[in-house]
Amino acid sequence: MTTNERVLVLGMGRSGRAAAELLRREGAALCLYDRDAALVAEAAAALGADVERATGDAPPAFDRFDRVVASPGLRLQADPRLEPEVDLAARHLTAPLIGVTGTNGKSTTVVLIGEMLRASGVRAPVGGNLGTALCELVGEPADWVVAELSSFQLEHAQRLHARIAVLLNLAPDHLDRHGSLQAYGAAKARLADLQSAEDTLIANADDEWCRAVTERAAAQTKLFSATRRLESGASRDGDDLLVTASRGDWRVPLDRLAPACRAHLSNALAALLAASEAGGERDAMRSVLEGFEGLPHRSQQVCSRRGVDYVNDSKATNPAAAAASVDAQRAPVWWLAGGRDKQLDFTPLARVTGTIRAAFVYGEAAPALEAALSERAEVVRTESLDEALQLAARRAEPGDVVLLSPACASFDQFDSFEARGDRFCELARALPC
């Protein structure tokens, strides 16, 4: 990049600020934009340098700048000057990238891969959509960089290059942003589209979209399956996980897996295959699978009160994730669902196979959830998550599970899925023992 190149940075969240800091180190003349003037002022002060500031409903005209770097949260039309934050990072990262995308399970898979590699003595920082922007990892010592990548990050990507790409699944989500499932899937498929024949593409053999992407992929494909044995790759074989690779076959007994891995078996298989490709050692990877405690708000075992288990799966923000969460429970479920409706089809929720005692629905999506679930189970309309949990707690019996698995975004009553999950944990832990 030429010194004093004029660059407009759009969005002053974590990704935008990380991009601005990297660009300033490279000598760019910056203009920072966000609708929130306070965020712009804070970011400019943190840079400790004279930068142009812009706020308002619309960003400055792009033709004033040599380049435009965008945060993933902004909905923008394609433009020759436009560069997503992940592409900026890709210009500077020196370690090869393991990229993970899909509708559900990205964070768990990324963390598992990172832990497996680090347990094997491999330097493998994690970031992307998982807390740490990719631009923040530029310059950090690394043998591999492991990144969670969302459709928002990938839709305009041109330079991002994953030496190992992982495709987990596709289910309806974020259609309010992308407009259709086809467009949403195309955005995620950019991760594979940007690979070459020297790269590796790891994909879910149980998912129709994943299989379709592999058919046109240039990279070498390796598959995983949580439902059947595969001739190669990583799969479930009876009571074992089986990895078939160039270094020979090896197994991990299912009963040795930590509960968080048994609850996310596809993610565990994907992580095993990706970490193995990146040089993970068998004993180290097995140890991670046996000791993995899971991530907060993802099938999190919160507490037990009077013989009733409370499980926080606040990250289940779409119907597919919520249905899988209910089906993963081994006990009868008192189901808490609701929040902001992302205009998704709730019909699949009525096809869950788990045992549902009752569904307590709340928030903006409560009417749509009630309509979808009323023929499957008893549905109780409530005003809030607080009320839903209290009602479920009164009716639950020893051996049951009270499960928060919302199938919706949190933004009608909470600032984030984390805040929603934290409230559930607080309420559950306050119940009498």
SS3 content of the chain, % helix, strand, coil (to 5): 35, 20, 40
Q: Does residue 357 contact residue 395 with C-beta atoms inside 8 Å? A: yes
Nearest residue to 167 (alpha-carbon basis) of 233, 230, 254? 233
DSSP single-letter state for residue 60: P
* Residue showing tokens 């598992």: 112
Residue 19 CA to residue 33 CA, distance in Å, equals: 12
Name the packing angle between helices 208-216 and 181-193 (round to 10°).
50
Q: Does residue 46 contact residue 36 with C-beta atoms inside 8 Å? A: no
Question: What are φ and ψ of residue 346, in 5° steps?
Answer: -90, 0
Active site residues: 106, 129, 174
Helix (H) or strand (E) holding 145: strand 145-148
- In which region does residue 77 sit, left (phi positive, over 0), alpha (psi from -120 to 50) or beta (all else)? beta
- b/e sequence 363-394, b meaning 16+ C-beta within 10 Å: bbbbebbbebbeeebebbebeebeebbebbbe
Q: Does residue 305 contact residue 433 with C-beta atoms inside 8 Å? A: yes
Tally of CB atoms within 10 A around 289: 22
Contacts of 19 (CB under 8 A, 6+ apart): 9, 69, 71, 85, 88, 89, 133, 135
Helix (H) or strand (E) holding 361: strand 356-362
Residue 354 CA to residue 302 CA, distance in Å, equals: 20
Structure tokens at 340: 């902001």
Structure tokens at 354: 């788990």
Q: Does residue 362 contact residue 335 with C-beta atoms inside 8 Å? A: no
Residue 243 CA to residue 251 CA, distance in Å, equals: 6
